[in-house]
Amino acid sequence: MSLMEKLDGGVSLLAGGTDLLVAMKDGRLRHRTLVDIKHISNLGAMRPEDAGLCLGAAVNTRTIARSPLVKERFPLLSQALAVLGSMQIGNRATIGGNLANASPAADSAPALLALEASVKLVGPQGERLVPLENFFSGPGKTVLERELLTEIHVPSAPDQGRGVFYKLGPRGAPEDICIVSVAVFAVPDASKRIWTDVRIALGAVAPTPIRARNAEKALLGQLIEGRTVEDAARLAAEKDARPISDIRGSASYRRAMVKILVARALEQLSER
């Protein structure tokens, strides 16, 4: 921390380097001092925490995806991280880096948003725990202020809850930068007739990864049936998503895909 104060501006933190080196090579980052943080003790550890999970920011995404603990307790997270990048990228890219890089299309973000994860930020003034939903402030921007993202805390999820992640990309391969991504975590009541808790997160359709609050509200306490699924999917596409057109897809295509993927996810989670 004292090092960060001393160096001040012009410093980039290096973890897996899979985003940073590309930015350096194409000239978006110049004359910078790099501080390699991945060997700081504790940043590389992953451990159960009560019924949840604490992930060190420098744990690589493939290690998390393949962890038996994560597969058992948080299959949604495992599913999302398994397609974050190729094997070679997953062996280097860190979970903290994927979040701190703050791409609207970050593949780890929707699953972690749906699981209501928080991030621990440590700076010269002390540390704070920020809900992931409040961490992103724009494309490539976060609330980090000369701080280090050290841990990701994933709280315990209800036993009856199930999740699903869809990533839409041009190749249908892990290497894709997604055009749209959707993570849904849903909890039915004991009779499996009513949605008691639904969290829908969207990637690449807003300046940051977002929760689709309008769609979620429309489902809460409602019957698990085709009509509610349709209404929620429409709201996610029309009210929650605020996509732009870019090289990967047009805004209208993205909205159309949000509708389809949210509906598909909810349908899959409706199956008894």
Nearer to other proteins, 18 or 118 (CB): 18
Q: Among 11-19, 47-55, 98-106, 203-211, which window interacts with other proteins (CB under 8 A)?
A: 11-19
Kind plus residue range of the DSSP H or E element containing 175: none
Residue 39: how many CB atoms within 10 A of its CB?
A: 8
Instruction: State yes or no: residue 260 binds other proteins (CB under 8 A).
Output: no
What are the start-end ranges of the H helices in 26-173?
Answer: 61-66, 68-73, 75-82, 87-90, 95-100, 108-114
- Told to check if 173 binds other proteins by CB under 8 A, we report yes
Place of tokens 């159309």: 256
Q: Smallest distance from the beta carbon of 7 to other proteins, in angstroms?
A: 14
**Residue 92, burial from CB neighbour count under 10 angstroms (0-12, 13-18, 19+):** middle
Give Cβ neighbours of residue 53 (< 8 Å, ≥ 6 apart).
Answer: 46, 47, 69, 70, 73, 74, 153, 154
The one segment of 127-135, 146-154, 169-177, 203-211 that binds other proteins by CB under 8 A: 169-177
Beta carbon of residue 30, minimum distance to other proteins (angstroms, whole number): 11
Query: Which of 75, 174 has the CB closer to other proteins?
Result: 174
Least Cβ distance, residue 158 to other proteins (angstroms)? 30
89 binds other proteins (CB under 8 A): yes
Token pair 């870019």: residue:
246
- Strands (DSSP E) found in the chain: 11-14, 33-36, 46-49, 52-56, 118-123, 126-131, 136-138, 141-142, 148-154, 162-168, 180-188, 195-203, 210-211
| Residues binding other proteins: number (CB under 8 A) | 20
Which residue of 1, 4, 11, 17 would you call a contact of other proteins, by CB under 8 A? 17
Which of 71, 92, 162, 239 is in the footprint of other proteins by CB under 8 A? 92
Work out which of 7, 10, 42, 88 binds other proteins, going by CB under 8 A.
88
| Using rule CB under 8 A, residue 34 touches other proteins | yes
Which CB, 17 or 207, lies closer to other proteins?
Answer: 17
Q: Which is nearer to other proteins, 100 or 263 (CB)?
A: 100
CB of 25 to other proteins, least distance (A): 6
How many other C-beta atoms are found inside a 10 Å radius of the C-beta of residue 185? 27
Pick the piece of the chain touching other proteins (CB under 8 A) from 40-48, 82-90, 101-109, 211-219. Answer: 82-90
Burial (CB < 10 A; 0-12, 13-18, 19+), residue 47, is exposed
Centre a 10 Å sphere on the Cβ of residue 44 and count the other Cβ atoms it contains.
16
Which residues contribute to the site for other proteins (CB under 8 A)?
A: 14, 17-18, 21-22, 24-25, 34, 36, 82, 85-89, 91-92, 173-175
